[in-house]
Amino acid sequence: MSGNSIEVHGLTKRFGAFTAVDDVSFDVRRGAIFGFLGANGAGKSTTIRMLCALLDPTSGTAVVGGHDVRREPDEVKASIGYMSQKFSLYGDLTVEENIAFYGGIYRLAKSRVQAQMPRVLEIAGLRGRERTLARDLAQGWKQRLALGCALLHQPAIVFLDEPTGGVDPVSRRAFWDLINGLSEDGVTVFVTTHYLDEAEYCNDIRLIHAGRIVGGGSPQELKRTTIRHPLLEVECDRVVDALELLQRESWVRETSIFGSYLHVGVEDEAEGRTLLKGRLAAAGITVSRLDLIAPSLEDVFIHKIEEQTKETEHAP
């Protein structure tokens, strides 16, 4: 096997006339934390399902852990762990019984389940609560238990589909520490998320929009290479009016709202500052803060989507 855990070429999935995943290709290095980012409905879950051999691709190939998802679905399933955004344990079974059930469906010997039990409880942080019903656990613990169960059979690759959905920030942080630990142990982690701040934890990411990959690389690389013009962060009153005003200016490259402030891409920093202040003051809008900032992943993502949209519009 090459140094890649996952190799995807031209993967496509259509549901009737709707193309959910459109000609997607990428490789995932062994031991990497690979982030698959996109909005809800962008095609993340459909891609994961094809990689987990739950859904047949319409065309293209995917090799996971050395097995083709279409030809050897059972081998693929045996070599991966999977945890989804939905709470996927049995609420009416205890922590211990849930672990035993997953051991059973992965056909592990009882002795092996017993041997793995302390590790899973460790991952889940549930030592001493073996007899608690899963439904009585807080969301963060449930997710960690689900991860523990997904790792019970010691897979070389784990797929985490929005693993931190609905989890508080502290638990999210703890969860990512677990993921880092896995990667250090040589496990390949394929994770989807729509929290862009979480993508910073990944070694390699792909941005997916409307079923197509619009960008990829390490987070640092993406931020460094995607947006080359200066980006100003503007804090002012009447942000929506300010946005509409600035959009019409020729010296403005791009604009976007981040809560109560704006990000404005300009051709030149000094010129941009002067023009922006003057233009907003003329409209009676008060600027309370104006800073040059480094682009975040979110800026990168939006920029990539806009690029893609323009390309599609200009295509004949």
Partner 1 sequence: MPREPGGLPFLAGIRPVIRKEFRQIRRDPRSLIFLLCIPAFLLLVYGYALNFDVKHVPLAVCDQDGTQASRDFSGKFAATEYFDLRYRLSDPREVDALLGREAVGIALMIPRGFGADLAAGREAKIQVLVDGAYAMTAAAAAGYVGAIAQSQAMRYTLEVLERRGLKRLELPLAVETRVWYNPELRSARFLVPGLMAFILMVIVVISTAFSVVRERERGTMEQILVSPVRPADLVLGKTVPYVLISLVSAHVVLLLGFLLFGVPIRGSYLLLLLTMTLFLTGGLGQGVLISTVAKTQQVAFMISILTTFLPTFILSGFVFPIRNMPLVIQAVTYLIPARYFLTTMRAVMLKGTGLGAFWKEVLFLAVFAAVTIAVSTMRLKRTGLEEKPRRILRSHRRTGP
> What is each CA distance from 82 to 5, 78, 122, 283, in whole angstroms?
15, 11, 19, 54
Asked if 189 and 33 touch (Cβ cutoff 8 Å), the reply is: yes
Q: Does the footprint of partner 1 cover residue 15 (CB under 8 A)? A: yes
Torsion-angle region of 43 (φ positive above 0: left; ψ -120 to 50: alpha; else: beta): left
Instruction: Tell which positions 293-312 bind partner 1, by CB under 8 A.
Output: 302, 305-306
Tokens (6 digits) for 238:
């009447």
Residues 104-123 that bind partner 1 (CB under 8 A): 104-112
How far from the centroid of its chain's Cα atoms is residue 190's Cα? 9
State the minimum distance, in angstroms, from the CB of residue 2 to partner 1: 23
Of 115, 111, 90, nearest in space to 102 by CA: 90
- Kindly give the pairing relationship between strand 204-209 and strand 212-217: antiparallel
Nearer to partner 1 by Cβ, of 15 and 271: the residue is 15
Sequence-distant (6+) residues with CB within 8 A of 279 are 245, 246, 249
- Pick the closer one to partner 1 by CB: 18 or 170: 18
Print the binding letters for residues 47-86 with partner 1: x by CB under 8 A, - otherwise. --x--xxxx------------------x--xx-x-xxx-x
Contact positions with partner 1 (CB under 8 A) in 138-167: 153
Alpha-carbon distances of 207 from 38, 121, 130, 202, rounded to whole Å? 6, 34, 39, 12
Q: How many residues bind partner 1 (CB under 8 A)?
A: 64
Given a contact cutoff of 8 angstroms between Cβ atoms, the answer to whether 151 and 123 are in contact is yes
Nearer to partner 1, 90 or 181 (CB): 90
> Taking CB under 8 A as the criterion, which residues in 220-259 touch partner 1?
243, 246-250, 252-257
**Which residue's CB is nearer to partner 1, number 103 or number 204?**
103
Quote the CA–CA distance of 142 and 210 in Å, as a whole number.
31
- Site for partner 1, residues 168 to 197, rule: CB under 8 A: none
The amino acid present at 250, given as its one-letter code, is S
Q: Least Å distance between CB 229 and partner 1?
A: 12
CA 130, distance to chain mean position in Å, is: 31
In the numeric block, which tokens belong to residue 278?
């003057």
Our finding on whether 97 is near partner 1 (CB under 8 A) is: yes
**Which of 87, 141, 176, 190 contacts partner 1 by CB under 8 A?**
87
Please report how close the Cβ of residue 105 comes to partner 1 at its closest, in angstroms: 4
**Residues in contact with partner 1 by the rule CB under 8 A:** 15, 18, 20, 39-43, 45-46, 49, 52-55, 74, 77-78, 80, 82-84, 86-93, 97, 100-112, 133, 153, 209-210, 243, 246-250, 252-257, 265, 302, 305-306
